A and B are shown apart, each in its own frame.
Chain A
């Protein structure tokens, strides 16, 4: 099966995502350029990290109007799995596929280091290979990853099991020090109402090779592959 990785001008994690997908049995990753107007015959879509359009105006604000995004929105609304990582998460929020927004890190600093995130739900196509409460070690690299949403939106996310990952300590505690950017409710990743669109700031595609460190990101791609394979056979 094919999975699309979208490249915007300024994307810089597209090849890492491609590589992470390539490690999966039976998956053929394919790049789609921001000017393409069709996704073609793909089973899932990844919006990678980077600085699309130089983060001008707001991170993700201009990428959201790229020609390919109409196809991505249509795909997501039809129930197709979409993952936005880092800048991809920002694009999904700007596109209205996910609620809230990502604003400047509370610390004012660009944060580039591994963090711990706690898996909050396995009830998504992206986290079935993990266990609830499992703590993953995955890198972050962002200046604007501070998740912000109105209190009603946060309550809805909490009440409907849509917070997928939270920043935590290595043993899963939610201390202020474990929150690298000031995100509300320690949010590192969320899904939409239909649970087929995931946005997350940490980079699972940077945690798939033993040579480079932890491999806790593999589970996410494996979950997605398993979800798609199960869907294809039933």
Chain B
């Protein structure tokens, strides 16, 4: 077993109205930032997990996304898996 850090990035699906993103874009505009074409707001979920390998960690994360972490009707997800260094200092 090794330990992995799994980052799940959940974003509103393209084409879906994202009022939060729109509000942020508007605020950036009011601050004088020009050229901001689009702003979308999503979520970053960081899961630390024990797994036999990177492949297993990814497969489990995908299952978690389909079941709970993302709603396929409105959201897309992307998963990044990285192995934690051996002998992690757990103090």
Selected contact of B73 from candidates A101, A104, A182, CB within 8 Å:
A101
Interface residues of B in 19-42 (CB under 8 A from A): 19-20, 22-23
Q: Given A148-B73, A149-B73, check contact A104 B68 (CB 8 Å).
A: no
| A149: B residues at CB distance < 8 A | 73
**CA A104 – CA B71 in complex, angstroms?**
14
Contacts of A182 in B (CB 8 A): 17
B71 and A61 within 8 A (CB): yes
**Within 8 Å CB of B74, what residues of A?**
101, 103, 148
- Shortest C-beta distance, B66 to chain A (Å), equals 12
Interface of A is mostly: loop
The answer to the question of A25 belonging to the interface, with a C-beta cut-off of 8 Å to chain B, is no
Chain B interface residue count, Cβ-Cβ cutoff 8 angstroms: 14
Q: Which residue of chain B has its CB nearest to the CB of A146? A: B17
Q: Does A77 contact B (CB under 8 A)?
A: no
Given contacts A148-B73, A148-B74, A57 and B20 within 8 Å (CB-CB): no
Is B68 a contact partner of A65 (Cβ separation < 8 A)? Answer: yes
- Of A58, A61, A182, most buried by chain B (CB within 10 Å of CB) is A58
Residue in chain B with minimal CB distance to A60: B71
Complex formed: what's the CA distance from A62 to B71 in Å? 12
Within the assembled complex, what's the spacing in Å between the Cα atoms of A174 and B43?
Answer: 34
Q: How far is the CA of A146 from the CA of B20 in the complex (A)?
A: 13
Which residue of A has the minimal Cβ distance to B17? A106
CA distance A106 to B16 in the complex (A): 11
Interface residues of B (CB under 8 A from A): 12, 16-20, 22-23, 43, 68-69, 71, 73-74
- Additional A-B contacts beyond A99-B73, A104-B18, A107-B19 (6; CB < 8 A): A57-B68, A61-B71, A108-B22, A148-B16, A148-B74, A150-B73
Residues of chain A whose beta carbon lies under 8 Å from any beta carbon of chain B: 57-58, 61-62, 65, 93-94, 99-101, 103-108, 146, 148-150, 182
